[in-house]
Amino acid sequence: MPLRTNEMKVFAGSSNVELSRKIAKYLGMNLGSCRVEKFADGETNIKIDETVRGHDVFIIQPTCPPVNERTMELLVMIDAFRRASANSIAVIMPYYGYARQDRKARGRDPISAKLVANLITVAGASRVLTVDIHAGQIQGFFDIPMDNLWSFPVFSKHLRELGGINIDDLVVVSPDIGGVKRASKFAGKLGVSLAILDKRRPTDDEAEMVNLIGDVKDKTVVIIDDIIDTGRSLVEAAKMLQKKKAKKIFVCVTHAILSGDAKHMLSKSPIEKIFVTDTVPQSDLPENFEVVSIAPLIGEAMMRIRKNLSVSILFK
């Protein structure tokens, strides 16, 4: 009997099933049959209801809040597929929890992003794919291949298709020095100029906008960032740009965590529209929010990984 060639199988964790379904639809596939259950004491239990022996498995599981629970679920899933003799296990983490703990900011701090990378590798993952990882050096924390997708092509396409926005009148704004590379790529894709805000953090949960490098007077500005958490930084950035006579303020952010009263705060801010992706599941968003799906980009990258084609070409 001839050996059967290995198939591509896509499975979803419980953190963002809707996004997983969109990705599977883009790929022209059905999600694999897998159940995430809990024991009485809260322990995670995984039931794989179909054979994966010798197949290439893709697990879609952003580790969004509750981060610890989602991360543990991912690790148990990887272990289950490894023990079921999958040929390879690619972990699709559109949002990488703990990514902001990427260095020792002060003495005796943990580097939790590295710890998570170690856990995923030891569990048995063959490769990892993320979207807009908070710090580029996290790619070096892995001893397995890691691909980081940029969201700017998704946002630039959406802005061009929107009515009422004149691209020639836009200025892309980076909310801090660390986001300049992301903002520069976005500005280059749109063919517009770039401005940079100088942000200082007196404490972990506070942000002050000290200065603006660039001209936004009478311009429509688009702030691009990777994460909205409490929303305070974005509100302060919008107030600074308003003082500098920006005409309209838009925001493009990949991961909308929206902790605490972030939704209310941002709904009352000078920001006209906030575009976010669906890397993190959303509900009850204010009227000035709009969700742009990242599923086609992730689906295309998964297909390219499976066929051993270039992923970086998607961003040229």
Give the residue numbers marked as catalytic: 199
Q: Which residues sit opposite 146 in a β-bridge?
A: 128
For residue 245 the two structure tokens come to 């006579």
Phi, psi dihedral angles at 188 (to 5 degrees): -65, -40
Q: b or e along 132-150 (b: 16 or more beta carbons within 10 Å of the residue's beta carbon)?
A: bbbbeebeebbeeebbebb
Q: Are 197 and 240 in contact (CB under 8 A)?
A: yes
How far is the CA of 88 from the CAs of 9, 91, 92, 110, 316, in angstroms?
10, 10, 13, 30, 28
Helix axes 112-123, 67-83, angle to 10 degrees: 20
What residues pair up with 48 in beta bridges, in sequence order? 34
**Does a cis peptide bond (omega within 30 degrees of 0) precede residue 66?**
yes
How many of the other CB atoms lie within 10 Å of CB of 218? 9
